[in-house]
Amino acid sequence: MSITIKTPQEIEKMRVAGRLTAEVLDYITPYVKSGVTTGYLDQLCHDYIVNVQGCIPAPLNYAPPGYRPYPKSICASINHQVCHGVPGDRQLRNGDIVNLDVTVISDGYHGDSSRMFQVGETSVQARRLCEVTFECLWLGIVQVRAGAQLGDIGNAIQKHAEKSGYSVVREFCGHGIGASFHEEPQVLHYGRPHTGVRLEPGMVFTIEPMINAGRMAIRTMADGWTIVTKDHSLSAQWEHTILVTDTGYEVLTVSQATPPQPAWIR
């Protein structure tokens, strides 16, 4: 499959989808607290996407080859869950960290973003992991410009994660996105600089590093979707959808309450 260069009309639709995705994360933020189930968070997001935004939650019934249909409208991954956590009856507890991953389809185009949330008073280790993972995301984003290569993104993320004493999950990566949920290219969160696909204006893809406090090894739970760390160490992830522009990059998944770029990262 080739990489799709988006037209100005497609880019405008993706700006709308990206903003709506970020607004779902804004909306759900005050509900992420101790005692709330991930299933309740999923229902709130579903109703907001469908009834308020008039859009479609892309994960619901999504079934790539080899997978059973995903049964919920968002992913909710707690503590040692790396990604694709299936919302259910589990209640959030004080000290938990949780990633909520939202993908909205608006007018046929996808926006994809995730954020980390800290429930009540979390440990120093948990707070630092969330912070470093957010920095990894942005260190990857600022590599994006026409003429750069995908390896530049992965290398920047890997260097910062490993320098901080963490590991990078290898099995999952960012991806092209547009009219389809997952398109080319694959955007690895590790690698060597000056290698891989060369970036061109009009490319749109996600950057979504998954960073483990312990070893990088992972396994899949019995539900066929939820990914966890093998050593039960904490894991964190942040995600944005990025457009390559003539002058650099544009983050498409932004809203009024989107956490800002760290000041020291330029």
Is 175 annotated as belonging to a binding site? yes
Is 42 annotated as belonging to a binding site? no
Q: Tens of pLDDT along the chain (266 residues)?
A: 699 999 999 999 999 999 999 999 999 999 999 999 999 999 999 999 999 999 999 999 999 998 999 999 999 999 999 999 999 999 999 999 999 999 999 999 999 999 999 999 999 999 999 999 999 999 999 999 999 999 999 999 999 999 999 999 999 999 999 999 999 999 999 999 999 999 999 999 999 999 999 999 999 999 999 999 999 999 999 999 999 999 999 999 999 999 999 999 98
Is 101 annotated as belonging to a binding site? yes
How high is the pLDDT of residue 266? 84
> In angstroms, rounded to a whole number, what is the distance separating the alpha carbons of residues 55 and 59?
12
How high is the pLDDT of residue 1? 60
Ordered DSSP codes for 225-251: S-EEETT---EEE-BEEEEE-SSSEEE
Nearest alpha carbon to residue 133 among 170, 103, 102, 158: 158
> In angstroms, rounded to a whole number, what is the distance separating the alpha carbons of residues 174 and 256?
24
Which CATH superfamily is 8-249 part of? Answer: Creatinase/methionine aminopeptidase superfamily (3.90.230.10)
Q: Assign 3-class secondary structure to 146-193.
A: CCCEHHHHHHHHHHHHHHCCCEECCCCCEEECCCCCCEEEEECCCCCC
Q: What is the pTM of this model?
A: 0.97
Is 239 annotated as belonging to a binding site? yes
> In angstroms, rounded to a whole number, what is the distance separating the alpha carbons of residues 82 and 105?
24
Is 12 annotated as belonging to a binding site? no
